[in-house]
């Protein structure tokens, strides 16, 4: 097996969380030993930025995003947009705005979420940065938002992170120019719709990620997730598409580099 020599990019992780405080170095040794060549650290609200930045100082293969998650809208203040803009302009390692989006699974405050989402999308377009989109039980609303922006030629490019939608939704996001990122949930036996999407997505339009520490892939389900486990996502997609591990690693790496300009 050539598993461990392929280059892989974990396009979405949160190792700033305190459940990595004890062993972040060890976690990095493991991702390095498994061929993870670059990582994109996602941000859920601005107070995280200094800590994420120092993680990027610690691990040279780390890039990061800045943004406000739809379940963190209470962190949005008058000055937040300026803070995000300054953070993005100050550090070349900021390669995306996010994670941003809509979550109607865990919350119902759609208008509040939109009020935080729209300015971030406009900022991303202005800075020519891609967005990392969290979208849960809100595909219809999200497509509406993107379609409106696309009509005015001001929709940023980006990725639908932790894909959990169906084929019809995937096709719409692809048509709007978005990439699709698969995470641990593609390894779940019952995730039939996600499997269908992984089979159909064009080879030049998908990424892989862990969303560590959440949503560990099989065979680590239920435990803390970490970037080295991204290989299980690659492996599952390779089985679904009847392609080799290295082909999937290669396409997803190439796509992540194209979208985010990663090393």
- CA end-to-end distance (rounded Å), the chain: 25
Residues 97-116 binding Zn ion (CB under 5 A) are: none
Residues 116-155 binding Zn ion (CB under 5 A) are: none
Count of Cβ atoms closer than 10 Å to residue 148 Cβ: 12
Stretch that binds Zn ion, among 15-23, 26-34, 36-44, 108-116 (CB under 5 A): 36-44
Q: How far is the CB of 244 from Zn ion (least distance, A)?
A: 28
Residues 126, 159, 161, 67, Cα dihedral to 10°:
-10
Residues 244-263 binding Zn ion (CB under 5 A) are: none
Q: What is the 3-state secondary structure (H, E, C) of 88-154?
A: HHHCCCEEEEEEEEEECCCCCCHHHHHHHHHHHHHHHHHHCCCEEEEEECCHHHHHHHHHHHHHCCC
Stretch that binds Zn ion, among 34-42, 104-112, 145-153, 173-181 (CB under 5 A): 34-42
**Residue at shortest CB range from Zn ion:** 42
Out of 15, 28, 40, 42, the only residue in the binding site for Zn ion (CB under 5 A) is: 42
What b/e readout covers 118-128, taking b as 16+ CB neighbours within 10 angstroms? ebbbebbbebe
Question: Which residues are CB-contacts of 231 (< 8 A; sequence separation ≥ 6)?
Answer: 3, 4, 8, 34, 35, 245
Cβ proximity to Zn ion: between 42 and 160 the closer is: 42
CA distances from 196 to 84, 137, 170, 193, 200 (A): 36, 18, 10, 5, 6
Tell me: does residue 40 bind Zn ion (CB under 5 A): no
Cβ proximity to Zn ion: between 67 and 156 the closer is: 67
Q: How far is the CB of 151 from Zn ion (least distance, A)?
A: 29
Residues binding Zn ion: number (CB under 5 A): 2
Site string for Zn ion, 46-75 (x = CB under 5 A): ------------------------------
Stretch that binds Zn ion, among 40-48, 80-88, 187-195, 196-204 (CB under 5 A): 40-48
CB of 87 closer than 8 Å to CB of 72: no
Residues 199-218 binding Zn ion (CB under 5 A) are: 211
Binding site for Zn ion (CB under 5 A): 42, 211
């Amino acid at each position: 097996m050539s598993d461990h020599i392929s280059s892989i990019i974990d396009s979405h992780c949160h190792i700033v969380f305190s459940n990595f405080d004890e062993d972040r170095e060890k976690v990095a040794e493991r991702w390095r030993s498994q061929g993870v060549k670059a990582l994109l650290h996602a941000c859920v609200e601005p107070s995280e930025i200094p800590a994420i930045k120092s993680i990027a100082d610690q691990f040279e293969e780390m890039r990061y995003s800045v943004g406000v998650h739809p379940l963190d809208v209470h962190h949005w203040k008058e000055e937040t947009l300026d803070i995000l803009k300054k953070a993005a302009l100050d550090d070349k390692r900021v390669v995306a705005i996010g994670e941003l989006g809509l979550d109607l699974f865990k919350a119902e405050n759609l208008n509040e979420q939109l009020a935080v989402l729209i300015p971030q999308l406009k900022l991303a377009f202005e800075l020519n940065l891609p967005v990392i989109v969290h979208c849960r039980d809100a595909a219809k609303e999200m497509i509406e938002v993107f379609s409106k922006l696309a009509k005015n030629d001001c929709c940023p490019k980006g990725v639908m992170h932790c894909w959990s939608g169906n084929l019809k939704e995937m096709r719409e996001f692809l048509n709007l120019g978005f990439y699709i990122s698969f995470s641990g949930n593609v390894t779940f036996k019952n995730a039939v719709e996600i499997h269908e999407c992984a089979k159909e997505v064009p080879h030049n339009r998908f990424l892989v990620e862990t969303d560590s520490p959440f949503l560990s892939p099989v065979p680590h389900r239920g435990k803390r997730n970490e970037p080295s486990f991204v290989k299980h996502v690659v492996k599952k997609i390779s089985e679904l598409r009847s392609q080799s591990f290295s082909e999937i690693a290669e396409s997803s790496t190439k796509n992540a580099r194209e979208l985010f300009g990663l090393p």
